[in-house]
Structure 1
Amino acid sequence: MPSTRRSFLRSASLLTLGASAQTSVSKPAGLRIEKVEFAFEDFKYRAPYKFGGTAVDRVTLLNVTVQVSTPAGKSATGFGSMPMGNVWAFPSKTMPYETTLGAMRELAKRINKITGDFKETAHPIEINHLLEPEYLKAAAGVSKELALAEPIPKLCTQVTASPFDAALHDAFGKALGLNCYQTYSAELMGQDLSRYLNADFKGESLEKYVTAKPRDWIWLFHSVGGLDAVTPGELKEPLNDGMPETLGDWIKRDGLQRIKIKLQGENLEWDIARTVAIDRVARETRPEVEWKYCCDFNEHCPNVDYLLEFLRKVKEQSPQGFESILYLEQPTRRDLRADRGNLMHEAAKFRPVVIDESLTDLENLMLSREMGYTGACLKACKGQSHAMLMAAAGQKYGMFLCVQDLTCPGASFVHSAGIASHVPGLSTIEGNARQYVPAANAAWTGRFPGLFETKDGKLLTRQLDRVGLGAVG
């Protein structure tokens, strides 16, 4: 680590301790990073998943292991894992899949070094707060050195850094013999939330916004991608692999009661027909269910008028289907500042309108509220630290909150489900790795009964009370 950067981080750490004394909080336990290692793991999808106009047929997982110590002499090893998700995190019309994935791979190497070079003792949230600016500088460096046609965006940097952050939270909990949601007290963090958010959070601790114990269960949102067969007539090339291949078959096998509908945002008639067809199949298959849907446009709607017309026509053609829409996810472009004219106030009168790709920091959350958005999506792939802080902000400002994944398998899904089961008011999670990349879940289903498989449309989360993030002992 360059001496100038080391001095900066040391000074920031000293400021942390000063703030602790001022708020009458004892010096936090913290952790010291001893070693960081990472590896990649590749899986092919059983079937392509189409969202945002792009079909994805593979995943590269970034797996991170950290070794840490505490001032009390305890040591622990933490683990974090996350799909790279370059199609979502680094979409590009000028660069192919391998180019954006390659940039994330290179960025992972640099984040690994930056994290390993950090030698101060601090809480994982404080470490992420200090290191994220360094990660962003590294992303800019990769963009320049690889002569990328478009620079690596902040969201992509957060996704690449997220398993490092997860591994630190996991290790800290293990070192203290606590579930990581029990490590967010004022005593252990040594800071109030105003350091990471704004003055509205003066004197508040994160433990106010999370529960020490998980919910017993949460609803599973089953995803219907743009290429998925809703009816048998749409099944052009059966896989015949023993798994469901139509929506009706999935509903029957898993007892589904919640559906995430992936829409185009560029073809109004298709979006309307797709939503109405999914509602029809759902009600025909399980007429006794009180169905709930999430409509996700993956930022492809040209404007809010498109969204309003979509809602009007769905209500006209399927009143029950319209009533079942629980919320609307990221209808227009993720760059809110470049899209200031697309105000969501009128649409939000009908249903919560949630930001997903736009949510990279508190500044964008506050801007979204000004623009009429009423909800926010929490994702493990943006980092555990980020998810916890945005969960606090969302609750503080009375926003609708939900948890989505990034087709997260294995440890990354345990992580994601932990968020959904520990944030008050949440009761649902998207979990589609079981549909598209079940091979990556194979080693995990027996270790977490009822979390990777379901028979009643629910996932059992009471078991997510193990030490750390709970995925690896």
Structure 2
Amino acid sequence: MHDAPRFAVREIALFERPVMLRLPFRFGVVTLTECPQAFARIRIEFADGSSAWGAAAELMAPKWFDKNLALSNEDNFDQLRRVTALAREAYLSDPAPATAFGHFARHHDAHRMAAAGLGFNPLLASYGPALLDRAILDALCRALQTSFHAAIRSNVAGIGPGRAEFDGLEIQAFLASLSPADSIEARHTVGMLDAITAADLKQPVADGLPETLQEVVRVYGHRYFKLKVGGDIASDLARLGAIEDVLDRMGEPYFVSLDGNEQYADAAGIAELMARMRETPALARLYASILFVEQPIARRFALERDLRDLRSASIGKPVIIDESDGELDSFVQARARGYAGVSSKTCKGFYKSLLNAARCAKWNSEQSQTRYFMSGEDLTTQAGLAVQQDLALVSLLGIPHVERNGHHYVNGMAALPLAEQQAFLAAHGDLYEHSHGAVRLRIRDGRIRLGSLDCAGFASAAMPDFDAMQPMAC
């Protein structure tokens, strides 16, 4: 690799637009019906005076970054606006040129401390830089006329120097070894309020799109599923049984993950659910299909209590952290507590995803079996920049399936200007389709095709209509 390009960050514009859900979704402890989406547009400038613009987008999901029940959804939105504004202030405060990664490394600790001073936890604090870092890399890729995949493999972002967490991971060789797939399995999330069959529908939307799990399976052909569990064993077992009834009718193999959503105080709680599943003959196939369990223990306890410290039944499946992944070394702490994996989410930062993937590669090379892994988790990504950048990342990391559900709860690009919809469809005809009056994600046989993401920029050959947005209120 030649020396990574250095540049200054000159302009950062923040926008948002409302997103209305066609179906209500129980998001942890809140039922979501609408939510703003944040956008960042950034101009970088090189020593010769040339410059380039880049962009990124992320839903401002409430009650995930901070699950304090005393806060309203609007309070959570304002928190996310504030940490994004904090990151903008930091990235514009130092005009000295740096690599793309250098800008992240330079401001990471100070930004985290500034956010902590406002009472924001590390997971919440990471939202702002995660958004800006993607827009910066997008601008760099456009300036170099190279794709995200090529940029990461050749490390034009200069990943590694400046952060001790990357030391000893042979990051150059790891990045060069990455190879994206041309398609990926979509893992459909079944939320706590989601209808399993038509009998569960209380107020049908009747917009022609799938509303029940049964319809989702028929229309999209999914083979991978993410099932939310709520901490009430009797209710969870009954709901899982209803889900298995639908999945078993597919006739083909299927695979599931269980999302504990921080509903348990310790490992014993989730171990009891797993034991009860093993004892229930009607759940035998579903249990056998479980790939892993996601963040069952509340984040305030998860990295303090060992998963293996059980007096009775074991969990029996690999466990990953998600909400507990607030710091750059959280996965290292989790590994010491018996966790086998960690989620990749663009809202936590793509540099963190690359760091954790490199850790998995190193740790697995030191033993005779592949134990450590990353999963792709994000049901909030919306059609356009957000879903494309996340898909490009998880595909490059070699993750074979990804939680993908924003297309199910939102009516595609229906609320966006027609010209913007057509631009994304024209640029990414393998990823999108036009149906039911709007451009939307295209899923066939449970898979999403990704070939068009290998374009100049961070996985997008089209741009959103920033003139149709509101400036972020921060």
The answer to whether the superposition gives a TM-score over 0.5 is yes
| Deviation per residue, 1:338-379 (Å, 9 max, x gap) | 742554789887322111111123421111111110011111
CA distance in 1, matches of 2:176, 2:236: 36
Aligned to 1:371: 337
Letter in 1 for 2:407: R
**Contact conserved, 2:357 with 2:373, CA < 8 A, in 1?**
no
**Contact conserved, 1:223 with 1:261, CA < 8 A, in 2?**
yes
Letter in 2 for 1:448: H
Aligned to 1:19: none
CA distance in 2, matches of 1:386, 1:30: 21
Aligned to 1:354: 320
| Deviation per residue, 1:128-157 (Å, 9 max, x gap) | 11112232233245x2xxxxxxx2111111
**Considering only aligned residues, what root-mean-square deviation do their CA atoms show, in Å?**
2.4
Shift of 1:447: 3.9
| Deviation per residue, 1:362-410 (Å, 9 max, x gap) | 4211111111100111111112222222221232223121111151102
Number of positions where the alignment pairs a residue of Structure 1 with one of Structure 2: 435
Question: Is 2:397 the counterpart of 1:423?
Answer: yes
Letter in 1 for 2:247: A
Question: Is 2:271 the counterpart of 1:305?
Answer: no
| Deviation per residue, 1:442-465 (Å, 9 max, x gap) | 624554334322121001112221
User: Residue 271 of structure 1 is aligned with which of 230, 236, 250?
Assistant: 236
CA distance in 2, matches of 1:348, 1:416: 33
Residues 1:430 and 1:33: Cα distance change in structure 2 (over 3 Å): same
Aligned to 1:46: 22
1:169-184 paired onto structure 2 within 5 Å: 169-184=137-152
**Contact conserved, 2:165 with 2:329, CA < 8 A, in 1?**
no
Tell me, which stretches of 5 or more residues in structure 2 are unaligned? Answer: 365-371, 432-440, 463-474
Question: Is 2:157 the counterpart of 1:157?
Answer: no
Letter in 2 for 1:385: Y
Residues 1:181 and 1:307: Cα distance change in structure 2 (over 3 Å): same
Shift of 1:176: 1.4
SS of alignment partner, residue 38 of structure 1: strand
SS of alignment partner, residue 14 of structure 2: strand
Aligned to 2:200: 234
| Deviation per residue, 1:156-181 (Å, 9 max, x gap) | 11123321111011111111121123
Question: Is 2:9 the counterpart of 1:36?
Answer: no
User: Residue 402 of structure 1 is aligned with which of 369, 372, 375?
Assistant: 375
**Contact conserved, 2:153 with 2:175, CA < 8 A, in 1?**
no
Q: TM-score, normalised by structure 1?
A: 0.85
| Deviation per residue, 1:56-109 (Å, 9 max, x gap) | 111211100111123355421111111122321121121211122122223322
Residues 1:27 and 1:256: Cα distance change in structure 2 (over 3 Å): closer
**Contact conserved, 1:449 with 1:460, CA < 8 A, in 2?**
no
Aligned to 1:146: none
1:115-264 paired onto structure 2 within 5 Å: 115-141=91-117, 143=118, 151-184=119-152, 188-190=156-158, 192=160, 195-197=163-165, 199-201=167-169, 204-206=170-172, 208-209=174-175, 213-264=179-230
Aligned to 1:100: 76
Residues 1:222 and 1:450: Cα distance change in structure 2 (over 3 Å): farther
CA distance in 2, matches of 1:422, 1:350: 29
Residues 1:315 and 1:177: Cα distance change in structure 2 (over 3 Å): same
Shift of 1:35: 1.1
Aligned to 1:316: 279
Residues 1:59 and 1:180: Cα distance change in structure 2 (over 3 Å): same
**Contact conserved, 1:231 with 1:247, CA < 8 A, in 2?**
yes
User: Residue 450 of structure 2 is aligned with which of 440, 447, 461?
Assistant: 461
Shift of 1:433: 0.8
Shift of 1:330: 0.4
CA distance in 2, matches of 1:134, 1:57: 35
Letter in 2 for 1:466: C
Moved more, 439-448 or 242-251: 439-448
Aligned to 1:411: 385
Letter in 2 for 1:113: E
SS of alignment partner, residue 454 of structure 1: coil
Shift of 1:439: 3.9
Greater helix fraction, Structure 1 or Structure 2: 1
Residues 1:406 and 1:291: Cα distance change in structure 2 (over 3 Å): closer
CA distance in 2, matches of 1:445, 1:261: 31
SS of alignment partner, residue 78 of structure 1: strand
Aligned to 2:428: 448
Residues 1:158 and 1:406: Cα distance change in structure 2 (over 3 Å): farther
1:275-294 paired onto structure 2 within 5 Å: 275-284=240-249, 286-287=250-251, 289-294=252-257
Aligned to 1:147: none
Aligned to 2:349: 383
Q: TM-score, normalised by structure 2?
A: 0.85
Residues 1:283 and 1:448: Cα distance change in structure 2 (over 3 Å): farther
Letter in 2 for 1:101: F
Question: Is 2:58 the counterpart of 1:82?
Answer: yes
SS of alignment partner, residue 152 of structure 1: coil
CA distance in 1, matches of 2:179, 2:314: 32
CA distance in 2, matches of 1:111, 1:195: 18
SS of alignment partner, residue 168 of structure 1: helix
Moved more, 370-379 or 132-141: 132-141
